[in-house]
Structure 1
Amino acid sequence: MVKMPPEVSETLEKQWPIPFATSSSEGKPNVVFMGILKIKDDETLVFADNFFNKTATNLAENPWASVVCWTKDPRRSYQIKGKVTFAEEGPIFEEMAASVRARRADLQMRRAVIFKVEEVYEANSGPTAGERIA
């Protein structure tokens, strides 16, 4: 695992929704928008699995996922890659379930999606585009 620089966390906090990409074991991609995110610490993101279908299948075959975030002011963009596990009970699950209920009482969260940050890349245009920063 690596630690996200503070500016990456700040950028994630400003974006809604967050594109969340996965890939099957054969390399077939899938991307969904994630609306509920908690930054647990500088190494861990937690999302809510409310509707995963292809995403759940992909993550069962291949635990790697990627998110991208950006802000217009200040102009920043980052790609974050990591490995995903799930929690169906316990403190992380309960915290995310409460967050989901607070936003949408009609949703029943299935699982907490625990995303451990492994790589962070600069995604802005320019000479540093694509460079690994963490």
Structure 2
Amino acid sequence: MVRLTDAIKESLAATKIVFFATASRNNVPNAVPIGAFKIVDDETLLISDQYFNKTLANIKENPNVAISYWGEKGGYQIKGTVTLHTSDEIFRQDVAWMKELRPQLVPKSAVVMKITGVYILKPGPDAGKKII
């Protein structure tokens, strides 16, 4: 079980845009900037899908994903596995969250990411090192 530290949660919460990477079953990569994400708990992120096309197709073929970000409070690469929600309570919570955050956005699905590892993004001798 991988749990985000307070420092990682603080840096992610201070970040407005992250890059969400997926890959097809044939290992064709795709990375998109996203702003509709939040920490659910120490082990889970929620990503709201309004515009995913290739990303959604990739998730359906391969649940392994990564998020990378860098901001004023540092940055990390977070890897995990995802599940899609389109009609359950998680999806309804995502729709309500978007109505509060950005009323013009209408979610197609809620993407729940269970974290499997966190890696150092900062340049230097420890770049790429798994920290949790």
| TM-score, normalisation: structure 2 | 0.93
- Conserved in 2, the CA contact under 8 Å of 1:11 and 1:69? no
What residue number does 1:21 align with? 21
Unaligned runs of 5+ in 2: none
**Which of 80, 83, 88 is the equivalent residue of 1:82?**
80
Paired with 2:129 and 2:65, the residues of 1 have a C-alpha distance of 18
Aligned residue identity for 2:92: E
Secondary structure of the residue that 2:104 maps to in structure 1? coil
- 1:50-87 superposed Cα distances (whole Å, 9 cap, x missing partner): 11100011111110110012223x4x221000000011
Paired with 1:61 and 1:93, the residues of 2 have a C-alpha distance of 20
Paired with 1:92 and 1:61, the residues of 2 have a C-alpha distance of 21
Unaligned runs of 5+ in 1: none
Aligned residue identity for 1:18: V
Report deviation, 1:130: 1.0
What does residue range 1-134 of structure 1 map to in structure 2 within 5 Å?
A: 1-72=1-72, 74=73, 76-134=74-132
| TM-score, normalisation: structure 1 | 0.91
Paired with 1:13 and 1:41, the residues of 2 have a C-alpha distance of 12
- Kindly tell me: are residues 105 and 81 of structure 1, through their superposed partners in 2, closer, same or farther at Cα, counting changes over 3 Å? same
Aligned residue identity for 1:13: A
Paired with 2:52 and 2:5, the residues of 1 have a C-alpha distance of 29
Report deviation, 1:46: 0.3
Alignment coverage as a number of residue pairs: 132
Q: Give the superposed CA RMSD.
A: 1.3
Paired with 1:123 and 1:80, the residues of 2 have a C-alpha distance of 10
Runs of 4+ in 1 over 3 A off after TM superposition: none
Secondary structure of the residue that 1:93 maps to in structure 2? helix
Report deviation, 1:123: 0.7
